[in-house]
Amino acid sequence: MLLYQRTYSRRKGLALVLMIIPAILIRNWIVYRGVETEGLVAFALAILLNFLFWWLIGRYNPVREDSGIKVLGLDD
């Protein structure tokens, strides 16, 4: 979820698709091990921590397309 928050707006669709595969694998592992309650608690904590990150840091430091970083030594 943090990856999705800090992704450029043009690339959010690709980030979402790439996050679906690990999400399915984690869900299948949780069901296989029979730890659904712990999985729901972990998911709720992840949502809460991502919201806190966005609220405290992400709103004031948005993702920019042009960061202004210049590489020294390359004269193009």
Q: Which pLDDT tens digit goes with each residue over 32-76?
A: 999 999 999 999 999 999 899 888 887 777 766 666 666 677 565
Q: Record the pTM.
A: 0.67
How would you class 32 by CB atoms within 10 Å of its CB: exposed for 0-12, middle for 13-18, buried for 19 or more?
Answer: exposed
pLDDT at position 53, please? 87
CA 58 remoteness from chain centre: 12
Give me the count of residues in the chain: 76
